[in-house]
Amino acid sequence: AQVGVVIVGAGPAGLVLGNLLLDRGVDCVILERRGRAAVEGRARAGFLAAHSVRVLTEHGLGAGVSARGRAHGTCLFRSERGEFTLDYGRLGRGEVHTVHPQQELVRDLIAEYLRRGGELRFEAEVEEIAEGRVRVRGGEDVTGRYVAGCDGHRGVARAALTARGVRTARRDHGVSWLAVLAAAPPSMAAVGYALHERGFAGHMARTESVTRYYLQCPRGTDPADWSEERIWAELATRMRTADFGPLREGDVIEKAVVDLRSDVLQTPGAGRLWLAGDAAGLISPSAAKGANLAVLQAERLALALERALAGDEDGLAGYAAECLPRVWRAHEFSHWMSGLLHGPAGDDAEARYGRALQYARLDSLRTSRTHQDFFAENYTGI
Ligand code: RFL
């Protein structure tokens, strides 16, 4: 039997799409490679933009966010020139972030999808997508009038599209982050960015007992080289705790190296295969946009697929035309953020020049109300 839409992947993109399609009476099935516990336990993003919260709330998916999510509207910058806080919730459009860990969002979305009667198959790994036919490892093929590739950046959906000649635009930001999850309460109100000649360090509040930290590290770093003591010592140096007070330390629960790379598919779909989220493009985590773009694209794709199933294929072309400019705005801002946070290493003339620009940018952000409004609008917007 053929379903309306086969969704590959149960991350934020696939789960928002599945819930919205069920809402509109479109029959769909979600195929997810991993088991439920693994999907629900994966800690990644945490900052939801106002637009994401609106989409969730409007579609009856906001109960968890409104019960447990916490509004955050300030961020702090530290450097050798001192520190300052930007009250971005009162700047730009006056929007804040809602901190809600991605694994909790995923848990909420799975529960709601199942409650609505949706079909979700865990441990169903898709091997190949050919037109509307999806081959599942060790199982029967599933066919749909459309296939939604929400299987992340290394998924088969993107590969199927690039094999058809769809091209990508890509940038390697040339830096990596050691992403640390610590069983420790936050040490600052929400987000802290520290510029340091040893490299960037970041602090992101998650919950009352868990905090995410980032340490810029050389490409190819092995997380095993970073012991707990080394992590806390390096964070203390770069966050200048001697000047600004100690961090609240705790056990390191998780550490992984993330290479800062971005890419965008020239078009997020063709024919019967349409992509959303990281499958359609990867965005470096420097401005925390990835999960928010996934929600935006899933929302727009749900509308387009509903129209297409009713016989109007224009909606799918419109999906690409509408999303790409917004995706590119997010990339432009992330790229700008990356330039603010990462100075070049070394002490040659080029490195000195690059670092001086970094501080000029920081100074502009500290002193110019216009620049601050621009920052706030882009930081929280999508
Ligand atoms: P996901 O979450 O990767 O989900 C894809 C799902 O597809 C499944 N899958 C398959 N299923 C069946 N068959 C196959 N062949 C399959 N191949 C894959 C996978 O098992 C998985 O369940 O993609 P999605 O839905 O597009 O969501 C994207 C977001 O997860 C991602 O953009 C964010 O996590 C990025 N990101 C952040 N985004 C934010 O908006 N705010 C943040 O604060 C933020 N912090 C982060 C981040 C990403 C990070 N990492 C790990 C790169 C912090 C980090 C450290």
The whole-number pLDDT of residue 289 equals 96
Q: Are residues 210 and 279 in the same domain?
A: no
Say whether both 61 and 189 belong to one domain.
no
Which of 203, 255, 289, 342 is an active site residue?
289
CA of 340 to the centre of ligand 1 (A): 25
Catalytic-labelled residue, pool 113, 146, 193, 319? 193
What are the E-state strand segments in 40-107?
A: 47-48, 70-72, 75-79, 82-86, 97-99
Same domain, 240 and 363: yes
Q: Is residue 215 part of a domain?
A: yes
Q: Are residues 246 and 355 in the same domain?
A: yes
Could you give the residue ranges of the DSSP H alpha helices within 101-166?
Answer: 102-115, 156-163
* pTM as predicted: 0.95
Ligand 1, atom 23: nearest CA belongs to which residue?
A: 152
Annotated catalytic residue 285: yes
Half-sphere exposure of 374 (CA within 13 A, CB side): 14
CA gyration radius for the chain?
21
Statement to judge: residues 122 and 253 lie in one domain: no
Q: How many CB atoms lie within 10 A of CB 332?
A: 12
Please say if 72 is a catalytic residue: yes
The predicted structure's pLDDT at residue 334: 96
Q: What b/e string do you get for 46-78 counting C-beta neighbours within 10 Å, with b at 16 or more?
A: bbbbbbbbebbeebebbebbeeebeebbbbbbb
Examine the domain organization and report whether 109 and 214 are in the same domain: no
16: three-class secondary structure by DSSP: helix
Atom of ligand 1 nearest to the CA of 31: 12
The reported pLDDT for the residue numbered 256 is: 96
Together in a domain, 331 and 353? no
Is 100 in the active site?
A: no
| Residue 195 shares a structural domain with residue 162 | no
54 within some domain: yes
**343 within domain boundaries:** no
| Non-local CB neighbours of 9 within 8 Å, separated by 6+ positions | 30, 31, 32, 33, 149, 150, 151, 152, 155, 157, 277, 279
Range of the domain at 224: 173-260+349-380
- Is residue 117 one of the residues assigned to a domain? yes
207 in the same domain as 280: no
Domain count, the chain: 2
Find the CATH number of the domain harbouring 323.
3.50.50.60
CB distance 134 to 110 below 8 Å: no
In a domain, 81, yes or no: no
Active-site residue (options: 285, 319, 331, 342)? 285
- Tokens representing residue 8 in the block: 């590959």
Ligand 1 pocket, residue 275 CB under 6 Å: no
Residues 182 and 291 in one domain: no
Atom of ligand 1 nearest to the CA of 102: 34
Q: Considering only CA atoms, which residue is closest to atom 30 of ligand 1? A: 291
Residue 292 lies in a domain: yes
Low-confidence ranges of the chain (pLDDT < 70): none
